[in-house]
Structure 1
């Protein structure tokens, strides 16, 4: 049975890290709201709020690999947040993943085990990622 805890994952099913993060959430007995952000991109206000909630600059949520990051000149530190938001709205693949929103906070979960700090549940039994790596949960949670 899944625990009724409000967790949202901005997910890309083609990404192994995103799949492992989603599996870890489900391993905790939580069925999150899954937003496949390439199919349903967040709007400008949501992107701004996600960045603010992580405590990171918007630039920290951008993905370079496999995206038009370089072609769009997004590495230029003079690019404003508004210009970065415009780019992500035009090219949602620029949003790094997975982003997880939980009652304990919001974070870019790279590596996937970063999600453990956001799960409002007791320590979990070991979990095996797709590549065979075993993740052990130390039970340390944000805000605890």
Structure 2
């Protein structure tokens, strides 16, 4: 399966383990280090739609500034969350894997197996 993409953060153990599991299964994915390259609002919106998730579902709270930015408050809108994710890519939970079968946040790591 060569049409697999992992939105990866090499500083994250879950992301590293997901990448390793893909490779153990013979899959060499396209690796996108999203913290370096960033996100666009249309890209995130498309990913969320493909995953069947809202931006709040994929918002990284631990180790990020989500709470300080007010993004964890009930009144924070999807547009505000997406704009913050574009401005600070670390606010997106990881890893996200996309295959022809769909897209998912691969936490726990074994979730990636449902996409193969």
Decide: shared fold, TM above 0.5.
Answer: yes
Q: Aligned ranges for residues 70-109 of structure 1 at < 5 Å?
A: 70-109=67-106
How many corresponding residue pairs? Answer: 116
Alignment of 1:63-74 (within 5 A): 63-74=60-71
Q: Which residue number corresponds to residue 11 of structure 2?
A: 14
Q: Structure 1 length normalisation: TM-score?
A: 0.78
From 101, 110, 113, the equivalent of 1:113 is 110
Report runs of 4+ in structure 1 exceeding 4 Å deviation: none
Is this contact kept in 1: 2:39–2:85, CA < 8 A? no
Name the CA distance, whole Å, in 2 between partners of 1:56 and 1:44.
15
Alignment RMSD: 0.8
* Bigger RCO (CA 8 Å, 6+ sep): 2
* 1:82-104 residue CA offsets vs partner (Å, 9 max, x unmatched): 11111111111100000000011
For structure 1, which runs of at least 5 residues remain unmatched after alignment? 120-144
TM-score by length of 2: 0.97
Instruction: Please give the secondary structure, in 2, of the residue aligned with 1:39.
Output: helix
Q: Which has the larger radius of gyration?
A: 1
SS of equivalent to 1:13: coil
